[in-house]
Chains A and B, each alone.
Chain A
Amino acid sequence: MSAIVWETVQDQVLEETYYRATFPGGLEVQVCPKPGYSTAYALYSAKYGSLDAAIVYPDGKTLQLPEGTAHFLEHKLFESDEVDAFALFAKTGASANAFTSFEKTAYQFSCAEHFEKNLEILLGFVQAPYFTQTTVEKEQGIIGQEIRMYQDDPNWREFFEMLGMLFPVHPVCADIAGTAETIAEITADMLYECHRRFYHPANMILVATGNVTVDTAEEIVLRLLKPAEGEPARRPAMVDDAAPAQRSAALQMPVAAPRFLLGWKERTGGAAPNLRQSLLAELCLDVLLGETAPLYEQLLNEGLINPGFCAEYFNGPGYAACLLGGETKQPERTAALVREALQTAAQLGIEAEAFEQARRKKYGQMVKQCNDIEQMARRMTQAYFNGDAYFDRVALLRGFTVKDANERLQALFREGYDALVITEPLKIAKESEAV
Chain B
Amino acid sequence: MALPLRLGEPKATAANAMLPYLLRRSCAAYPTPRLLESRLAALYGASLYAGAAKLGETHWLSLSLSVIEDRFAFAGDSLTADCAALLEELLFRPRLAEGLFSAEAVELEKRLLCERLESEQGEKRIHSIRRMEALMCGNEAFGLNAYGTPEAIMALTPADMAAAWRNLLSRAKMQITLVSAGDGAAVEATFRGAFAGITRDPVVLGGEFIPAASAVRSFTEYEPVEQAKLVLGFRVGMRNRDDHNFATRMMADIFGGGVYSKLFTVVREEKSLCYYCAARANRYKGTMVVFSGVDRAKAEEAREAILEQLAAIQEGDFSDELIADSRRSLRDTFFSVVDAPESLADYYSTGLITGEYLSPREIYERLEAVTREEIIAAAKQVTLDTVYLLCTAKKEGDAA
Q: Could you tell me which A residues sit within 8 Å of B by CB distance? A: 13-14, 37-39, 79, 86-87, 89-95, 110-113, 138, 141-142, 145-146, 148-149, 151-152, 154, 210, 253-257, 290-294, 296-297, 300-301, 303, 306-308, 327, 357-358, 360-365, 367-368, 371-373, 426, 428-435
Contacts and interface: CB of A to CB of B under 8 A. Distances in A.
B112 A256 contact: no
Contact of B33 (A113, A142, A291, A306): A291
Contacts of A111: 332
A431 B72 contact: no
Contacts of A303: 108, 111
Interface string B331-345: 111011011110000
Contact of B34 (A13, A112, A297): A297
Interface of B: 32-34, 37-38, 40-46, 66-69, 72, 104, 108, 111-112, 115-116, 118-119, 121-122, 124, 217-227, 258-260, 264, 269, 272, 275, 293, 295, 325, 327-333, 335-336, 338-341, 393
B333 A367 contact: no
B119 A256 contact: yes
A148 B331 contact: no
A23 B332 CA distance: 30
A90 B329 contact: yes
Contacts of B45: 360-365
A95 B329 contact: yes
5 contacts: A38-B335, A90-B328, A112-B332, A364-B43, A434-B217
A368 B223 CA distance: 41
B116 A364 contact: no
A96 to B, nearest CB: 8
A112 B329 CA distance: 10
Contact of A432 (B108, B220, B227): B220
A5 B340 CA distance: 32
Which one of A294, A306, A308 has the highest number of Cβ atoms from chain B below 10 Å of its Cβ?
A306
B34 A292 contact: yes
Given A152-B227, A292-B37, A432-B222, A371 B32 contact: no
Which one of B112, B119, B122, B222 has the highest number of Cβ atoms from chain A below 10 Å of its Cβ?
B122
B219 A95 contact: no
A178 to B, nearest CB: 16
Nearest to B111: A303
Contact of A291 (B37, B66, B226, B227): B37
Contacts of A210: 339
B74 to A, nearest CB: 8
A112 B119 contact: no
Contacts of A148: 226-227, 275
Contact of A363 (B44, B46, B295, B325): B44
B108 A113 contact: no
A368 B46 CA distance: 10
Nearest to A430: B221
A306 B115 contact: yes
B44 A367 contact: yes
Contact of B332 (A94, A141, A145, A367): A94
Nearest to A84: B269
B262 to A, nearest CB: 13
Contact of A37 (B43, B116, B339): B339
Contact of B259 (A90, A256, A257): A90
Nearest to A303: B111
Given A291-B34, A432-B222, A152 B295 contact: no
